């Protein structure tokens, strides 16, 4: 159901008639597909989406995983068919409902929440679809949230049942005394090696079952489906906030079915595709991608649980579809450029010529393939993702235009950038098919329209030559609100149902949305200049040296400072150039403390900022080098790999204070505000 690709100069959006208001742009819709007010009538629930795939591919492979062998290594993919998965959904759902009837007041077993805490695996999806089939809804717990946040979500959502992997059974039992509502834990794994965990569960008044036991009970006592209504909750998704406690976004079946149907209209998917599931299923982007695969009757293979070994999973699975995020694209970009265009000697010369030829071909609208250069160079590059990927989607954060364009030609495939949020069910805008430009996020999905609203304090006005302002979104994909939080719901949704994204957008000449700033995380420096730290961080993480970066500033200071986690290999290369032979082999943590290395990284930040035309006040004037990466485990990243800014600010407050003390002794640089 792929739309016709317009020419690169054609308008990609149109303005709804008489939709302009003072301080607002017109309301924009895509010219590529008509506005979809509701999903097709036969599709009402999340389970209906799976049922569609079941009808297409009943006896074909559905869910695949790599079992762990006796030697601790992962084996080849083992598959369950759509028919087998459908039976497991019925069996587990029947057993789960009957269990809930036993523990719920009055035997009520519908419209109840079920927690899920595990990495992506078949049982995750089976639990989710079973809840949909039997009128329940799921509450996802991020696999690496940490016990404090898990405790908060379980109590806030009033979960009586949590389905989880075996290691999290132990985690839950440890904090049982803080979870007054929790009554049942269902382990996705056998618990033999955790003996005597049964006795522990009894002592803390928890009923403990393994997944297979619930399935066996349901198989022996099957129950008819109890399909929910479209406006019933499908799931509550707790956003991985970078600032405060997570908020529970309430997503209805209508929201999800609308968003998924719109995504299907916009992308090219079919039953012969194979996709890899590794993006967290507790995040809406991962959930939508996996369900889109099942909706089309495709194969869905789960990763082995460790992103560090994702490359091995890709070689085994050889997917045709690869949903991803900019963080991984940036690392892929660095590895490929080092082996090609940045390689020494003849290899680099030939690769640069090949990339230039393919980029020109792409710009001319002739696609991302080349009859000669692909055979000589890029068919080998494609093997990094298994060799068969034909479509990549990226979302959750911006990706640099040069990274996107390079990877389009290097990987010889269609790469589509989308823009969305949990609150818009992952769908707001997306690139058209075979897009040949970058630096924008495309046009609205058919399920929603967008508009811009003036942000005068940041000097973004819809009356500008290219309209600029905060992006607002409306459509049947927009969430119901935040669970038990009417105040923040009112802040997010206006009286007409428009969702305020907090992002600053611009409409370009072709009518596409360009995200240019962030309203929520901006701050002022002492001289009154506004700073959008995420925009600056995105500039720096495109360089191989800067693995991670946290930009800090506040209204009491006139300059920015940075916490940088450098790439060990690249820092070693810098050390060879800057240090003596006796010093350049120092351990990584000692290199991060060496004054000459710190100064070298600071000079690099200045050079990169100038090259990207950052304003003088946007370039950090001091840097602290951190040898331990930001991670979810150490609390500095959300599960979607965004920096938790308040946590980072607190963690590094002593280093930040020291940098500002040193800057007081140093005269400011002689840059102008425009470089």
Q: What was the pLDDT predicted at 638?
A: 78
Q: Output the CA torsion 332→335→336→338 (10° steps).
A: 150
What per-residue confidence (pLDDT) applies to 673?
Answer: 30
Say yes or no to pLDDT of 242 above 60. Answer: no
Based on the domain organization, do 563 and 481 belong to the same domain? no
Q: Which domain holds residue 660?
A: 523-664
Q: What is the per-residue pLDDT across 299-354, written as a single tens digit (0 to 9) for each?
A: 999 999 988 899 999 999 999 999 998 888 988 998 999 999 999 999 999 999 99
Whether residue 674 lies inside any domain: the answer is: no
CATH number at residue 212: 3.40.50.12780
Give pLDDT, residue 244: 59
Boundary (domain end) residue, out of 518, 534, 564: 518
Q: Output phi, psi for 184, to 5 deg.
A: -135, 135
Which of 316, 344, 377 lies at the terminal end of a domain, its last residue?
Answer: 316
- The larger pLDDT score, comparing residue 197 to residue 157, is at 157
Instruction: Supply angle C-alpha 132, 392, 240, rounded to 5.
Output: 50
Q: Are residues 309 and 354 in the same domain?
A: no
Q: Tell me how far apart the alpha carbons of residues 458 and 518 are, in angstroms, rounded to a whole number.
A: 10
Q: What integer pLDDT is reported at residue 156 of this predicted model?
A: 96
Supply the pTM of this predicted model. 0.82
DSSP 268: -
Domain count, the chain: 3
Cα–Cα dist 119/96, whole Å: 20
Residues 310 and 325 in one domain: no
99 Cβ contact list (under 8 Å, min separation 6)? 161, 184, 209, 214, 217
Please determine, for residue 629, whether its predicted confidence score (pLDDT) is greater than 90.
yes
pLDDT over 60 at 675, yes or no: no
- Residue 101 CA to residue 223 CA, distance in Å, equals 12
Residue 674: pLDDT band with limits 50, 70, 90: very low
pLDDT of residue 240: 61
Task: Identify whether residues 92 and 230 lie together within a single domain.
Answer: yes
On average, the pLDDT of the chain sits at 90
Question: How confident is the model over 388-423, as pLDDT tens digits?
Answer: 999 999 988 788 899 999 999 999 999 999 999 999
Q: How far is CA 620 from CA 298, 558, 614, in A?
A: 47, 11, 10
- Among the listed ranges 340-344, 468-472, 478-482, 614-618, which one has the minimum average pLDDT value? 614-618
Cβ neighbours of residue 641 under 8 Å, at least 6 residues apart? Answer: 325, 327, 397, 632
Gap between the Cα atoms of 645 and 647, Å rounded: 5
pLDDT in tens, 633-654: 888 887 767 788 878 988 999 9
Q: For residue 396, what pLDDT is reported?
A: 80
DSSP result, 582-593: TTTT--HHHHTT
Whether 5 maps to a domain, the answer reads no
Q: Could you tell me which residues are beta bridge partners of residue 139?
A: 115, 236
User: Are residues 547 and 607 part of one domain?
Assistant: yes
Same domain, 536 and 613: yes
Which of 160-169, 238-247, 524-533 has maximum average pLDDT? 160-169
Answer yes or no: do 658 and 531 share one domain.
yes
| pLDDT bucket at 542, cuts 50 / 70 / 90 | confident
Under 8 Å between Cβ of 389 and 413? yes
Q: Are 620 and 560 in contact (CB under 8 A)?
A: yes
- Whether the per-residue pLDDT at 81 is higher than 60: the answer is yes
Domain end: 316, 343, 368, which one? 316
The pLDDT tens digits for 256-275 are 999 999 999 998 899 999 99
* 547: in domain: yes
Tally the C-alpha atoms within 13 A of residue 335's C-alpha that lie toward its C-beta. 13
Residue 8 placed within a domain: no
- Residue 622 in any domain: the answer is yes
Q: How far is CA 141 from the centre of its chain?
A: 15
Higher pLDDT, 250 or 530: 250
What are the tens digits of pLDDT across the range 105-158? 877 888 999 999 999 999 999 999 999 999 999 999 986 666 788 999 999 999
532 and 562, same domain (yes or no): yes
């Amino acid at each position: 159901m792929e739309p016709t690709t317009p020419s690169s100069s054609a308008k990609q959006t149109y303005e709804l008639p008489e939709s302009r208001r003072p301080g607002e742009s017109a309301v924009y819709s895509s010219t590529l597909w008509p506005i979809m007010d509701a999903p097709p009538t036969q599709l009402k629930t999340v389970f209906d989406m799976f049922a569609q795939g079941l009808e297409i591919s009943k006896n074909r492979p559905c869910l695949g995983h790599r079992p762990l062998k006796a030697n601790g290594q992962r084996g080849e993919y083992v598959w369950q068919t759509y028919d087998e998965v459908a039976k497991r959904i019925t069996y587990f759902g029947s057993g789960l409902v009957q269990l809930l009837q036993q523990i719920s007041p009055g035997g009520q077993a519908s419209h109840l929440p079920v927690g899920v805490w595990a990495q992506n695996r078949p049982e995750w999806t089976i639990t989710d679809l079973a809840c949909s089939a039997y009128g329940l809804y799921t509450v996802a717990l991020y696999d690496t949230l940490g016990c404090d946040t898990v405790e908060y979500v379980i109590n806030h959502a009033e979960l009586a049942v949590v389905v989880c992997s075996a290691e999290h059974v132990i985690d839950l039992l440890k904090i049982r005394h803080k979870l007054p509502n929790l009554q049942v834990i269902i382990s996705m794994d056998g618990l033999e090696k955790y003996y005597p965990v049964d006795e522990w569960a009894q002592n803390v008044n928890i009923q403990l079952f393994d997944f297979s036991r619930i399935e066996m009970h349901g198989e022996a006592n099957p129950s008819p489906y109890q399909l929910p209504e479209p406006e019933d909750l499908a799931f509550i998704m707790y956003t991985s906030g970078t600032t405060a406690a997570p908020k529970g976004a309430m997503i209805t079946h209508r929201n999800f079915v609308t968003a998924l149907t719109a995504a299907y209209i916009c992308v090219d998917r079919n039953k012969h595709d194979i996709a890899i599931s590794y993006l967290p299923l507790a995040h809406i982007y991962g959930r939508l991608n996996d369900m889109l695969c099942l909706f089309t009757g495709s194969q869905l293979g789960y990763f082995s649980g460790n992103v560090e070994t994702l490359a091995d999973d890709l070689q085994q699975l050889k997917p045709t579809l690869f949903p991803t995020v900019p963080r991984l694209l940036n690392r892929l970009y660095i590895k490929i450029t080092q082996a090609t265009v940045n390689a020494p000697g003849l290899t680099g010369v030939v690769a640069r010529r090949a990339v230039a030829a393919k980029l020109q071909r792409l710009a001319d609208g002739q696609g991302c393939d080349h009859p000669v250069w692909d055979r000589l160079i890029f068919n080998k590059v494609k093997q990094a993702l298994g060799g068969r990927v034909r479509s990549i989607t990226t979302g959750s954060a911006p990706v640099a235009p040069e990274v996107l364009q390079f990877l389009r030609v290097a990987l010889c495939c269609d790469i589509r950038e989308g823009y969305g949020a949990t609150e818009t069910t992952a769908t707001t805008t997306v690139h058209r098919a075979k897009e040949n430009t970058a630096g924008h996020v495309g046009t609205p999905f058919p399920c929603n329209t967008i508009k811009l609203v003036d942000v005068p304090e940041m000097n973004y006005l819809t009356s500008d030559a290219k309209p600029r302002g905060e992006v607002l979104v409306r459509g049947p994909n927009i969430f119901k609100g935040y669970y038990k939080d009417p105040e923040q719901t009112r802040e997010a949704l206006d009286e007409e149902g428009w969702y305020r994204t907090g992002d600053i957008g611009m409409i370009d000449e072709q009518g596409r949305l360009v995200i240019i700033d962030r309203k929520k995380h901006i701050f002022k420096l002492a001289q009154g200049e506004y700073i959008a730290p995420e925009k600056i961080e995105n500039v720096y993480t495109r360089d191989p040296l800067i693995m991670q970066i946290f930009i800090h500033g506040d209204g009491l200071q006139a300059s920015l400072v940075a916490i940088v986690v450098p790439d060990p290999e690249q820092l070693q290369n810098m050390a060879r150039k800057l240090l003596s032979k006796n010093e350049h082999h120092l351990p990584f943590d000692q290199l991060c403390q060496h004054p000459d290395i710190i100064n070298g990284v600071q000079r690099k930040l200045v050079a990169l900022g100038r090259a990207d035309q950052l304003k003088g006040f946007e370039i950090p004037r001091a840097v602290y080098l951190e040898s331990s990466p930001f991670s979810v485990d150490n609390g500095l990243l959300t599960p979607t790999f965004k920096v938790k800014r308040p946590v980072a600010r607190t963690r590094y407050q002593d280093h930040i204070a020291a940098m500002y003390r040193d800057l007081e002794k140093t005269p400011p640089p002689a840059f102008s505000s425009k470089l």
